[in-house]
Structure 1
Amino acid sequence: MSSSTERRTDGRGRTTGSVLSGLAVAVGCALFLGGFVWGALIYRPYTVPTDSMAPTIAAGARVLAERVDGSEIRRGDVVVFKDSVWGDLPMVKRVVGVGGDKVSCCTKEGRLTVNGVPVEEPYLQSDGPASPTGFKAKVPTGQLFLLGDHRSDSLDSRVHLTDGDHGSVPRSAVSARVDARAWPVGSVGMMDRPEAFSELPGGTSQPGPLRPITYAVIAGTVLILGGAAHGPLTRRKGRNRG
C-alpha cells in the first residue's frame, strides 16, 4: 500500500506528493532564474590578460566584478577601470590611496605607507619590499592611486607619477569592483578585503551580493532536481511494491 501522504488527492486527482513536488520545481525555477538575472544585472565577467595582479589574480584568469559607482571605492579594493592616459582597454589594479592621501614607499622594513602608516600587504607577489623602486605621491581630491600586486611586473600609478594627477585616476574611471575569481577552477573564490586598510579612515568596502546570488542558484537547482525526481521515484516504488 502507498503511504497516507501519497493517497491523499486534491479535487483533480493529484496526490499531495505530486502537488508538493510541482511547488518545489516552481520555487526552484524562480530562485534559479532569479539568481541568474540578479547576477547579470549586477556583475560582469572580466579576463585579466597579464600577471600584474598575481598571485591574487593570475594571468588569463576570469573574475566577477560588481558594477559600482566610483564614489563607493575604498582603499584595498581591486577595481576595473579605463583611463585614456593608461590605455584604451579596461585594466585591473588595487586601490592603495584615495583623495588627500600621501602614499610612499618604502620604509626600512620595505613597507608601503599611507599617510605615514605602514600597511601590511600579504597579497603581494614576493616577500621583498612593497616596490622595487621608491616613490612618493599625494593623491588629488576625487582621484585614486592604483598599484598591481605583482609590483615588479605592473605598469601602474608609479609609471605615471609625472602626469598632472601624480599617477592617479579619477573615481569616475572605475566601472566595477572585483568580488570573486571565477576561473580557473582551482582559484574560484571570493576576494578578501585587506585588514590593514580597514584600520585607516573610511575603512574598507563590503562585498556585493554574490554570495546570496550563488546560494539562490544552488537552492533553485536542488529544488528543481528534487521535485523533478519525485515522479519517477514514486512510480518505481509502486512497481517494486507490485
Structure 2
Amino acid sequence: MFSAILVAAVITGLVRAFLIDVYFIPSGSMEPLLTEGDRVLVNKLEDTGADVRRGDVVVFDGRGSFDPITDQRSLPQRVIAGAGQWLGLAGSDTVYIKRVVGVAGDRVVCCAEDGRLRVNGRAVDEPYVFPGDVPSEQAFDVVVPDGRVWLLGDHRSVSMDSRSLLGAPGGGLVPGERIIGRAFQLVWPVDRFGPLERHDG
C-alpha cells in the first residue's frame, strides 16, 4: 500500500515538474478571465521561451525582473509556502500569471487616438480586458528585445505588470527562459471548468 502511494507521488511529481502543473491564482489581476482562488493547468511543454505567442496567458518566474532573486524567508517558511503552492492551496511570491502583449521585435505603444494599444503600428482589439478598464492609463512606447516578452494583466487598473517596472533595470521585460508554461485549462472552481481560449495578439 505504502509503495503504491510512493510510486503515485513520484509519478505526480514528475508530471508536474516536466509536463503539466497546477497554478493557484493569487489576485484579481487577470479578471475577468481568472479570479482570485482559481486554479489553472499550465502546459510546460509548449509556448515557452522563443515559442510564446502574443495573446497567450503564461505563468512565469519573476525573479530578476518582477522580483529580486534573494528570498529572505527562513527555511521552514519556504518549506511551508512550497507545500501550499504544490498542493494548489496558495500562490507564489515569485511566480506570476499575465498575458503576453509583445514578443521579440515588437514595438508596443499605448495608446492610439482611438484608445487602443498598437503593436507594430496596428491597433489591437482586446476583448479580454476587464469591463470598464482602458488598455492602460499609463503611456508607454516599448521595443521588445530578443529573448524577452512584454506582459500585462487583463484587469489593467489593478495589475502590477511590465508597466510597473518602466525605468527600472530590465524595464519590466521578462526573459523567455523565465516562462514556466502556458495556462490552458481552468480546473477550479468546477462550475467554470473549461479551456482558456487563445487570442491572437
Q: TM-score, normalised by structure 2?
A: 0.74
Aligned residues: 162
The answer on whether the counterparts of 2:134 and 2:156 sit within 8 Å (CA) in structure 1 is no
After the TM superposition, which of the residue ranges 156-165 and 90-99 deviates more from structure 2? 156-165
Q: 1:86 matched to which residue of 2?
A: 66
Q: 1:192 matched to which residue of 2?
A: 197
In structure 1, what residue type is equivalent to 2:20? Answer: Y
Instruction: Quote how far apart the aligned CAs of 1:67 are.
Output: 0.4
Q: 1:150 matched to which residue of 2?
A: 155
Q: Deviations over 1:179-227 (max 9, x none)?
A: 01111122211111114x2xxxxxxxxxxxxxxxxxxxxxxxxxxxxxx
Q: 2:50 matched to which residue of 1?
A: 71
Q: Is the helix fraction higher in 1 or 2?
A: 1
Q: Deviations over 1:78-103 (max 9, x none)?
A: 11101223125210000000111110
Instruction: Quote how far apart the aligned CAs of 1:141 are.
Output: 1.0
Instruction: Quote how far apart the aligned CAs of 1:127 are.
Output: 4.0
Instruction: Quote how far apart the aligned CAs of 1:166 are.
Output: 2.8
C-alpha RMSD over aligned residues: 2.0
The answer for unaligned runs of 5 or more in structure 2 is 1-7, 68-92
The answer on whether the counterparts of 1:146 and 1:168 sit within 8 Å (CA) in structure 2 is yes
The answer for unaligned runs of 5 or more in structure 1 is 1-32, 198-242
What is the percent sequence identity of the aligned residues?
Answer: 41
Instruction: Quote how far apart the aligned CAs of 1:161 are.
Output: 1.3
Q: TM-score, normalised by structure 1?
A: 0.62
Q: 2:33 matched to which residue of 1?
A: 56
Instruction: Quote how far apart the aligned CAs of 1:59 are.
Output: 1.0
Larger Rg: 1
The answer on whether the counterparts of 2:133 and 2:157 sit within 8 Å (CA) in structure 1 is no
In structure 2, what residue type is equivalent to 1:78? Answer: V
Instruction: Quote how far apart the aligned CAs of 1:110 are.
Output: 1.3
Distance 2:181 2:124 in 1: 24
Q: 1:161 matched to which residue of 2?
A: 166
Q: 1:101 matched to which residue of 2?
A: 106
Q: Deviations over 1:90-120 (max 9, x none)?
A: 1000000011111011112211111111100
Q: Secondary structure at the match of 2:99?
A: strand
Distance 2:132 2:27 in 1: 21
Q: Secondary structure at the match of 1:159?
A: helix
